[in-house]
Structure 1
Amino acid sequence: MKSSFVCLMAIVLLGSGTVSAATKNEQKFTDSLNNYQFGMTVTEFAKQKYGKSYQKYLTKKNGSTVLKHDVKKVISEESVDSLQYFFYDQTKQEPMHVMQIMFMKKPKDKLYRLVFKGVDMKRDKTVRQSTKQLMTGKRIRFEMTTEQVDAVLTGKGLGDWMTWAVTDYSSVFTKRELKNIGFGKAKVKIYIFQTDKKNKQKRVRMHDMGKGYVVTDIMTVSGATEDGGF
């Protein structure tokens, strides 16, 4: 079961407290995720998102209440069932904000509960790139802390993130099960940093298991055209 959850964490990668959002619309969109609490059932989520008309967005599938909204990915195994939903402005060819919500349950249970929420930001028809640049001759390495990454970037701070996500599986699994899985709560941010080469950027994933963010993945991308963390 542990390997399955490692794969789930690789899909995206919300922290709590103050985050860097460059526009009021982006901040409003990000703040809206606080309305969706971990452990929420699908019905509770629908009430929060859609208000009095929530019932028309619900349906039954195999005895469980689910959203009528398109399911982009379903993971069904002996140990876990999950549903992932993506929300965005469908009137836009290039939506600027994409929200992902994931519900999960054990196969014999009836209620799906919210275990993951995240947001992917775009800007100018591409990904949202940080305003900070990797300094010439400097490198970002695995397990660097936020402070260490800041030290090899221009300016102060890490700038705008591209993807922000948080997971909490404690509403679905017992403490013993979570220990076997390897984690229960986690926060991830993904940044795009420009390098001194015009068409080369660094896509950096930072993961916080409770002791602060550290670098867990680094990738060189070209033209900042990555689709984000989802």
Structure 2
Amino acid sequence: MQKWIKSSFVCLMAIVLLGSGTVSAATKNEQQFTDSLKNYSFGMTVTEFAKQMYGKSYQKYLTKKNGSIVLKHDVKKVISEEYVDSLQYFFFDQTKQEPMHVMQIMFMKKPKDKLYRLVFKGVDMKRDKTVRQSTKQLMTGKRIRFEMTTKQVDAVLTGKGLGDWMTWAVIDYRSVFSKQELKNIGFRNAKVKIYIFQTNNKKKQKRVRMHDTGKGYVVTDIMTVSGTTEDGGF
């Protein structure tokens, strides 16, 4: 089970950098897209989610499988384990060859239950065929270290603030499992942001993952990344 948790989380959060360049602040369209995630509450059933996303025509987007209501939307991954069944869906503008925003929603239930409930929501941002980078640059001679707070990271970057994030995601299992069950199977709730910071080397950037501890975000992963051949995504 621990192996599944680790590989699943990597699948959800791992993103490879595409190229480099300067980007502007979050666009109105990006902000609206991110704000729309607030409409999808943890614990929502698939039917409730469909009503929120599709409105009055929601029923035509639903079907039944193995006794449970699911979306007709393509399922990216179905995970069935001793303790959990889950469905992962990716939503994006299918008319675009290079969609600028990709939203991921994951539903989960215990194997003997009928109702899938929303436990994960996240968004991956792109711009001009590349992932969205922060306009902030790591200052020469400075380093980003594990456990740094937002304030401490800000202090080693140019300008004020961390700039735009590339990925934002939240996972909350409490609608499916009790506290004791979560402890027994090793699942943890999490809120994550991933940033791409520029450096004085135009071919290399810093990919920084930060987790919300409840008292603010801290750095939990740092990578030096570069390249133009891989696609970004969860």
Regarding TM over 0.5, the answer is yes
Shift of 1:210: 1.3
Taking a change above 3 Å as real, the CA distance of residues 210 and 129 of structure 1, as seen in their structure-2 partners, is same
Structure 1 CA distance for aligned equivalents of residues 151 and 71 of structure 2? 41
Taking a change above 3 Å as real, the CA distance of residues 4 and 24 of structure 1, as seen in their structure-2 partners, is closer
- 1:11 alignment partner, SS class: coil
- 1:205 alignment partner, SS class: strand
Structure 2 CA distance for aligned equivalents of residues 89 and 157 of structure 1? 30
Q: Residue 14 of structure 1 contacts residue 165 of structure 1 at CA under 8 Å; is this kept in 2? A: no
TM-score (norm 2): 0.88
Shift of 1:178: 2.1
CA RMSD after TM alignment: 4.5
Counterpart of 1:118 (choices 118, 122, 136) is 122
Q: Select between 140-149 and 12-21 the one with higher mean Cα deviation.
A: 12-21
The C-alpha deviation readout for 1:142-163, integer Å capped at 9, x for no partner, is 1111111111100010000000
Amino-acid identity (%): 91
The number of aligned residues is 230
The C-alpha deviation readout for 1:158-180, integer Å capped at 9, x for no partner, is 00000001111100000111233
Shift of 1:228: 3.8
Taking a change above 3 Å as real, the CA distance of residues 19 and 205 of structure 1, as seen in their structure-2 partners, is farther
**Higher relative contact order (Cα pairs below 8 Å, separated by 6+ residues):** 2
Query: Which residue number corresponds to residue 214 of structure 1?
Result: 218
Taking a change above 3 Å as real, the CA distance of residues 199 and 8 of structure 1, as seen in their structure-2 partners, is closer
Shift of 1:44: 0.4
Shift of 1:8: 6.0
Taking a change above 3 Å as real, the CA distance of residues 8 and 128 of structure 1, as seen in their structure-2 partners, is closer
Structure 2 CA distance for aligned equivalents of residues 118 and 203 of structure 1? 17
Unpaired runs of 5+ residues, structure 2, are none
Q: Residue 64 of structure 1 contacts residue 110 of structure 1 at CA under 8 Å; is this kept in 2? A: yes
Structure 2 CA distance for aligned equivalents of residues 197 and 217 of structure 1? 20
TM-score (norm 1): 0.90
Query: Which residue number corresponds to residue 32 of structure 1?
Result: 36
